[in-house]
Amino acid sequence: MASPEKAGRIAVVGSNMVDLITYIDRMPEPGETLEAPSFESGCGGKGANQAVAAAKLGSAVSMVTKVGDDLFGDNTIRNFSDHGIDTRHVAKVAGKSSGVAPIFVEESGENSILIVKGANADLLPADVDAAEETLREADLILMQLEIPLETIYHTVRRAAEWGVPTILNPAPATKELSVADLKSLGFLVPNESELSLLSGMPTGTEDEILAAARSLIEKGIGTIIVTLGARGARLVTADRFASIEPVRVTPVDTTGAGDAFIGSFAHFLAATGDTESALNRAARYAAYSVGRRGTQKSYASADEFEKFSKEAVG
């Protein structure tokens, strides 16, 4: 891990999407047409969002991903570069669209999302091997599930060989994810429903969350961090259980808040090596994003986060 004075090096093996965000009063019924108050578009995708959050805070971030050979792809590459993210391992796929994510945000700030993977489905183990020099020099490798599972498993295995810690956000959830193929994973960061799906156990109470998380640790995963939205998060290891308290804010748009949490956690963990401290700071970072519209544009820079943290403590 990097020292507190030095920005960490984070590699993201993951997805990118174009967010198509419609702000609505309510979802239409089947066959109904409604007028929506406003629309925005922007760069997104779980991998790209987490990469941008870490980069905005000052990490040196490298992205391993695929885009389509369309205008969305060009714009995504430009967006990575604008945030100082290394794009040497961002490749275009001929004949494929870029990934897109239509998002519907209600007045409460809650959102509903569809994703079309597009070129993300073409990110394969061979691309991980091609990026080996960059990946093995990272302090952390961060992954999500908007890319093929075989690529996730391969990355976890190779990272273990290189001695590089790994973080997996198992979203969007799928029953196809094999816990047995994640046995050398350092950190798994699911929400309640993802934890239940992976463990096959209920997660309705604190005791159930602990039991479900420990069942995965027994299968070889190092640490489980369960995200609980407005209830904060839970840190679970083989011999430890800690609550990460949320920072109370008035929600404006929850889109991308989970990615803000995970991307900033990766940054703080790589910089300090202190898991619980990194999680508490990530909770504040996610709270900042919830109070603003959009996805990546709602993420704080290091200076903005420092100011927000002082105000939250004060």
End-to-end Cα spacing for the chain:
30
Instruction: Provide the pLDDT confidence category of residue 313 given band limits of 50, 70 and 90.
Output: low
Residues paired with residue 166 on neighbouring β-strands, in sequence order: 141
Q: Could you identify the residue written with the tokens 């790209």? A: 48
| The predicted structure's pLDDT at residue 311 | 81
Residues 212/203, Cβ–Cβ less than 8 Å = yes
For residue 304, pLDDT beyond 80: yes
Residue-wise burial string across 156-182, b where 16 or more C-beta atoms lie within 10 A, e elsewhere: bbbbeeeebbbbbbbbebeeebebebb
DSSP single-letter state for residue 29:
P
pLDDT of 5 reads 38
d(CA 85, CA 58): 10
222-225 own/partner pairs: CB under 8 Å, 24+ apart: 222/185, 222/186, 222/187, 223/186, 223/187, 223/188, 223/275, 224/187, 224/188, 224/189, 224/190, 224/195, 225/187, 225/188, 225/189, 225/265, 225/279
Weakest mean pLDDT among 2-11, 136-145, 272-281: 2-11
Is pLDDT at 278 greater than 70 in this prediction?
Answer: yes
> Which strands make up the sheet holding 17-23, listed edge to edge?
38-44, 17-23, 100-105, 111-113
What are the tens digits of pLDDT across the range 118-157? 999 999 999 999 999 999 999 999 999 999 999 999 999 9
Query: How does residue 3 score in pLDDT terms, banded at 50, 70 and 90?
Result: very low
Residues designated as active site: 259
Q: How confident is the model at residue 294 (pLDDT cuts 50, 70, 90)?
A: confident
pLDDT confidence tier of residue 26, bands split at 50, 70 and 90: very high
**For residues 67 and 94, what is the distance between their CA atoms, to the nearest angstrom?**
9
| Cα R_g (the chain), whole angstroms | 18
Is a pLDDT exceeding 50 seen at residue 31? yes
